[in-house]
Structure 1
Amino acid sequence: MVDAGHGGRDPGAVFNGRQEKDDTLRLALAVGEILQDNGIDVSYTRTTDVYETPYEKAMKANNAGVDFFLSIHRNSFPTDNEVSGVESLVYDLSGLKYQVAQDINAQLEAVGFVNLGVKARPNLVVLKRTNMPAVLVEAGFINSDTDNMLFDNNFDAIAEAIATGLLDALNAEGVIQENYYRVQVGLFRNWRYAERLRNELLEQDYPAFIDDSGPFISVQVGGYDNLSDAVAMERRLKMDGYDTLIIS
C-alpha cells in the first residue's frame, strides 16, 4: 500500500504556497504506477485530496492484508533553506523495512539528494500500528529551495528511485521474484563466434550481451520485465534474419 501523506483539511508542511499534501499525492501515484508496471499489486490510502487520520490509514492497510506499507512525505525544518536532503523513517533499525529504507535512500542520493540516513521513529502511528513492514520516506525538505528544485526537475527520476529501492530490497530478500525475459539469438561452444555475433548485433543497436552461465555460450538480447516487449524484440530480430528463442 502506497500512502500519500496528509490530504484534505491537513495540508502538511507549507512553504511559499506549496503544500506537502499535493507533492505527496503526485509522487505516491507515480511510484505506484511504476510498481504496478513491475508486477506489484498496489493499493493506495488515497488517490484524491481527502483526509484520513494516520490511524485510519494504518487500519486500511491492515484490513487489506497488504504485505508492505510505503508512506511518502516531504520534510520541513524550523528555519527555511537551512537543511536539505532525504531521510527515511522506520519503527526500528532491523529487518526488511530497514533494508528497504536504506535502498530507497541510496537511490535518491543517486538522483542528487543529500542522504540524511534512516532513523527509528517508534511513535509514528503509520509505523507503529501497521501489521506489516512499513517505511516513511521524507522526499526532501519542502522549505528548501534546493530540494524543491530537485523535486520538480527530477520528478520522474525520484519516483523511479523510490520504486527501484523498494523492488531491489524485496528481490534481494526473496520476497518477490522477477519475471525476466530475454531473446536468445545464438548458442556456441566457441567464444570467438559468440563475440562476433554479439558485436554484429551491437553495431545494429541491439542491446546484446553474452551469457556463459550455462554449458554453452549464449548470445542474448534484452531483458524485459514483460513478455510482450520480448515478443516485439524477437519479431524485429526475425525480420533482420536471425534465428531466435525467448527465454526467461
Structure 2
Amino acid sequence: MTRLCFDYGHGGEDSGACYNGRKESNDVLDLGKSVAAEVRKYGVVVDETRTSDVTVSLNDRSNFENRNTYDYFISFHRNAFQPEQAKGVEAYTYLNPGAKSKSLVQTIQTSLVNLGFVDRGVKEANYHVLRETKASAVLVEMGFIDNTGDNTLFDAKKNEIIKAIAKAILAELGINYIEPQPEVKGQTLYRVIVGAYSAKENADAQLAKAKSAGFKDAYIKSE
C-alpha cells in the first residue's frame, strides 16, 4: 500500500512568513489538505503532521514521520524575502538526494512553473525535515507570500495548483490521474455499485479486484 507523509509548515504560535495579514501557516495548511484529499481518491494513504492551526516542532514533525514507513515525505511552504523583491517557486531535497527525491521534486517544480510561476530551480538544503526523515523527502516553496503577483497567482490558480501537485505525486507513484468530467446541468449520472460490506478488509479486497480489472477511478465510500 502506498503511503505518504504530508507536512504543512509552521502553525499555531509559529505563523511562518506573513505579509499584509496573510500567514504562510494558513496557506500551506489549506492547500496541502486539498492535495491530500485529491491523492486519497486513488487509494493512497496520506498521513499529516498537522491538520489544524497548531504548533508542531521540527522534532515532532520528523518523529511523526519516523514512526511509520512512507514512500515520500512532502513538506509544503511559502517563501519570503523582502516585500515585493522576489518571486517564483523553488523546491528542495536533502544534500546528495536519492533518485526518488530528485525525480519527485523536479516533477512538482516543473508542474508549478507551467502554471506561470517564475522558476527559481530545484536546490539542496540541510533542512531538519529533509535530513531527519527516513522517506524520500522534498520541500516545496509555493511562491513568495510577500509578493503581490505570486499571491494573486496562488489564489487565482489554487485549484490548478492542487491538481498539478497531485498529478505530479501520482505520476511518481505510477498512478494515472483521471481528469474529472464536468457535469452538465440537467444531466443524469448513473453510478455503478459493486457491493457494500460491514468489514473493511472485504471492501478493500473488492476495490483491489475492481482496479485490477481496469476501473482505476474506483474508490471506497463509508456511509
TM-score surpassing 0.5? yes
User: Following TM superposition, where does structure 1 have runs of at least 4 consecutive aligned residues deviating by more than 4 angstroms?
Assistant: 177-180
Match of 1:114 in 2: 118
1:179/1:225 contact within 8 Å kept:
no
User: How many percent identity over aligned positions?
Assistant: 38
Match of 1:71 in 2: 75
> Could you tell me how far apart the structure 2 residues matched to 1:120 and 1:227 are?
38
Shift in alpha-carbon separation, 1:127–1:104, aligned structure 2, 3 A: same
> Could you tell me how far apart the structure 2 residues matched to 1:137 and 1:103 are?
11
> Could you tell me how far apart the structure 1 residues matched to 2:71 and 2:129 are?
14
What is the aligned counterpart of 2:153 among 150, 153, 167?
Answer: 150
Q: TM-score, normalised by structure 1?
A: 0.68
Q: How far did residue 224 of structure 1 move?
A: 6.0
Structure 2: gaps of 5 or more residues: 179-213
Question: Could you list the per-position Cα deviations for residues 66-124 of structure 1 after superposition, in whole angstroms to 9, with x for gaps in the alignment?
Answer: 221110000011x2112111110110344111110000011111111112111000x21
1:35/1:163 contact within 8 Å kept:
yes
Match of 1:138 in 2: 141
1:100/1:170 contact within 8 Å kept:
no
Instruction: Write the letter of the residue equivalent to 2:41.
Output: D
Instruction: Write the letter of the residue equivalent to 2:27.
Output: D
1:74/1:140 contact within 8 Å kept:
yes
Alignment partner of 1:226 is 2:217: yes
Match of 2:171 in 1: 168
Q: Secondary structure at the match of 1:42?
A: strand
- Kindly report the root-mean-square deviation, in angstroms, between the aligned alpha carbons of the 2 structures: 1.8
Structure showing the higher helix proportion among its residues: 1
Match of 1:37 in 2: 41
Shift in alpha-carbon separation, 1:143–1:36, aligned structure 2, 3 A: same
Instruction: Write the letter of the residue equivalent to 1:148.
Output: N
Deviates more, 1:157-166 or 1:14-23: 157-166
> Could you tell me how far apart the structure 1 residues matched to 2:173 and 2:15 are?
31
Structure 1: gaps of 5 or more residues: 172-176, 181-222, 229-248
Aligned residue pairs total 179
Instruction: Write the letter of the residue equivalent to 1:226.
Output: D
